[in-house]
Amino acid sequence: MLGLGKVGRLVAGVAVASLLGGCAAAATPSPPTPVGDTAMLQSKLDACVPGGPECTVQLPAGTYLTKQLVANGFHGTVVGAGIDKTIIQALPGYVVGGPGYPLDNPPSASNPYPFIMAFGNNSDVTVSDLTFRVTAHDPTTGWYYPPVKATQTWLDGAIYVRGSGRFTGLSFEGDAGTIAAEGTTGVNLNNAVVLDHSLPGSVFEMTRCRVASTGNGFELFNFNGSATVGGSPADANTFVNSSGGVYNELEAATVQESYNQIETNLAASGWYGVWVYKHDTTPANVTLAHNLIAENAADMSGVFVSYDGPQSAKPLGLSLTNNTLVVGGNGSNEGIRAENATGISISDNTITGKGTHAVDLKGTADGTVSGNTLSGFTPDTSAGSAQIYLDSGTTRNRVTCAKPGDTVRNLGISNTVTGCTAAQ
């Protein structure tokens, strides 16, 4: 993907476009037509490009029907009249740019992305107080998606940003009967928000939002900055039949995700409540605290953490503390799984379920697991499982159980296990 200039700030909503110090022009939703309100909304976004004084685009109450909206170098705010009052709804039949992967080149009228709104090239956006809605299944005509080497027909997200984005008081609504899954068709919305290839100093904030029936609540891809998701009880987000976020290839990032409610009750899924992945050696720090993660889908676990770089680099400082995880599904699920991480802390969480492990460490070194209240995850002696599992690649981890009956299977080297029952 192409690089960016200086990062910016994001917000969604649209109706009155007014440069600070200038005039304002009202916008109202038009009757449903094949093109809906696309041209009007695009004109309001265009007024905030490129850069310059911060611009505000206000959208009064009403339902706005639209195809793709593109703004490169947007600096400003998009604000509505409130959730369920101002609604931006995707029209069916989105034509996505091509050939090849559209996100390899900047968004434009000739290369439209599979998003409702795409803010590229040093955008600085704030979006607040409105609803994004996608009702149609297969809302695009098809576009190539490299991760699965196949053509997809879903929208990859409601909002795309290269730069910085702040999102508050928003609702993102996919279809209640399905979520997007990579490599599938017949679905409609994969992400609420995607922040892509940010530069140092970028900002991502998501507060007081609700996300329903999407693949992911958000995805930060190659993120290099500061992220806050929730952050306090008053700013909590709610994710229903959606992941609570994907941190994909974190760079030099500081992340706090706290006080959010993440709940999935689907017949089948195969995903995680929160997913953290890092591959380079720049330091990053992630804190997940005081979240409720309830996953009752088949093969859908609570938190998954993975690092695939050299262990000597120790680039990922991770703390999972005071979270409540409830894991159901088909019994193959896990509470927290960490692969090839170094120095992580998993402490004082409440983890309940019937899956394979409450805590599963694979190839992980110098971590701490302590004070966690565990129930369920009954060991299967024939499979060698346990509530806390340390595989043969783990080393120098310290495990302290909250009660003597908690079971641990320790296959690693130089791990210290205290106050636990050894699983056979």
What does 54-97 look like in DSSP terms, one character per residue? -EEEE--SEEEEES-EEEET-EEEEE-S-TTTEEEEEPS-BPPP
Encode pLDDT of 85-97 as tens digits: 999 999 999 999 8
Radius of gyration for the alpha carbons in the chain, expressed in angstroms and rounded: 22
Encode pLDDT of 114-133 as tens digits: 999 999 988 989 999 999 99
CB 398 within 8 A of CB 380: no
**Which residue from 214, 156, 153, 157 is spatially nearest to 184, judged by alpha carbons?**
153
Encode pLDDT of 320-331 as tens digits: 999 999 998 776
Encode pLDDT of 130-167 as tens digits: 999 999 888 998 998 887 788 888 899 999 999 999 99
Does position 31 have pLDDT exceeding 50, yes or no? Answer: no
Report which listed range, 246-255, 355-364, 394-403, is most confident: 394-403
**Domain assignments of the chain as residue spans, ordered by start:** 1-132+155-177+191-221, 227-424
The per-residue pLDDT for 418 is 97
